[in-house]
């Protein structure tokens, strides 16, 4: 059996081949109040074949979006937004989506991991750290599409 490495359980080549199929049709959103940071993250995700079409920029906008849309499979979430902390979204709406936090503040890590958190990335986000976080999501059971594609033998 292969050892788990930062390249993922199945190794880089297979992961890259499978990733396109896994993320096709998946709903991924970014919640980030700084639009240049949101666009940078979107470009970084695109380089990993992850499409994040929806970008939200405030607590209020996010709550309204969640009330009127099907919840995403994965959320990339900044903590400090222009109108409050993103934790307020979870207080207003029951969200079961997987979350990867993207923030400049490390003091919220404990609170973040009490939610459906896959990872906690500090800004500026490193390409390798983002890739590892996405691989954690792929390896997790939080993704119904992923769990139907991957078979784990232990």
Between 154 and 79, the higher pLDDT residue: 79
Query: 115 pLDDT exceeds 90?
Result: no
Peptide bond into 106 cis (omega under 30): no
pTM: 0.78
DSSP H/E element including 117: strand 117-122
The SS3 call for residue 123 is coil
In the prediction, which pLDDT does 132 show?
Answer: 95
* Mean pLDDT computed over 49-62: 96
d(CA 23, CA 19): 6
Select from 3.90.45.10, 3.40.50.2300, 3.30.70.20, 3.90.420.10 the CATH code of 12-149: 3.40.50.2300
**By the 8 A CB rule, do 103 and 81 touch?**
no
Which two three-digit tokens encode residue 115? Answer: 């939610």
pLDDT in tens, 119-142: 999 999 999 999 999 999 988 854
d(CA 137, CA 45): 13
**By the 8 A CB rule, do 101 and 133 touch?**
no
In the prediction, which pLDDT does 114 show?
Answer: 87
What pLDDT band is residue 20 in, cutting at 50, 70 and 90? low
What pLDDT band is residue 30 in, cutting at 50, 70 and 90? very high
In the prediction, which pLDDT does 23 show?
Answer: 67
């Amino acid at each position: 059996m292969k050892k788990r490495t930062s390249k993922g359980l199945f190794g880089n080549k297979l992961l890259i081949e499978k990733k396109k199929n896994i993320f096709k049709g998946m709903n991924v959103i970014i919640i980030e109040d700084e639009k240049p940071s949101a666009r940078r993250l979107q470009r970084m995700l695109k380089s990993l074949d992850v499409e994040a079409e929806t970008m939200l920029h405030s607590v209020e906008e996010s709550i309204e979006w969640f009330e009127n849309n099907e919840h995403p499979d994965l959320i990339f979430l900044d903590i400090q937004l222009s109108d409050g902390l993103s934790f307020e979204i979870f207080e207003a709406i029951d969200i079961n989506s997987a979350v990867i936090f993207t923030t400049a503040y490390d003091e919220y890590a404990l609170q973040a991991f009490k939610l459906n958190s896959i990872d906690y990335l500090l800004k500026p986000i490193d390409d390798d750290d983002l890739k590892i976080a996405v691989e954690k999501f792929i390896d997790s059971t939080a993704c119904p599409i992923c769990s139907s594609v991957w078979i784990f033998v232990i």
